[in-house]
Amino acid sequence: MQRPHLVTLVFVLAGLVGCKLGKVGTPDGASKTWAQMDHAERVDHMAKTVEPRLAAKFREWDAERYADFDCATCHGEGANDGTYAMPNPDLPHLEEKGLFKKHRKEQPEAVKFMWKVVEAEVADAMGLTYGPKGDIACWTCHVVDDRH
């Protein structure tokens, strides 16, 4: 017996692994690509474009938890020391094994939100690609303990 939903899932996942979703380009409101911006320009773009877009999405998802969304929500101590280093070791650590199976089982809605909303929103706001082969993926922000 063939299970069509399983077959469809396999093809969708295979497609994601082999492609870069989104497009590399100049982000909205910027005159340069992310790669061309210096640190000060990146900080300015994050503050004016990326953070407000992400704050809105996170608040739509959980208004109470993300009422005080700011740079430190994602960058942690890096927002305070001005490095904005990523991945942020203070965010939950992830396990990649089985396509993040542990996390998909324990927090399916959070994983869905991160994959479908956060990665796409960050990439679009920065003019980058997202997904397993893209510029923005789980390991951009989170430490993935078993990543090769």
pLDDT tens, residue by residue, 54-81: 999 999 999 999 999 999 999 999 999 9
Give the residue extent of every domain in the chain.
Answer: 4-141
Other Cβ atoms closer than 10 A to 146: 9
CA separation, residue 87 to residues 75, 77, 113, 125 (Å): 8, 11, 18, 18
Arithmetic mean of pLDDT, 12-36: 69
pTM of the predicted model as reported, rounded to 2 decimal places: 0.79
Judge contact between 88 and 76, C-beta under 8 A: yes
Task: Tell me which amino acid residue 39 is.
Answer: H
Residue 91 in this model has a pLDDT that exceeds 50 = yes
Choice among 13-17, 71-75, 124-128, 130-134 with the minimum mean pLDDT: 13-17
- pLDDT computed for residue 22 by the predictor: 59
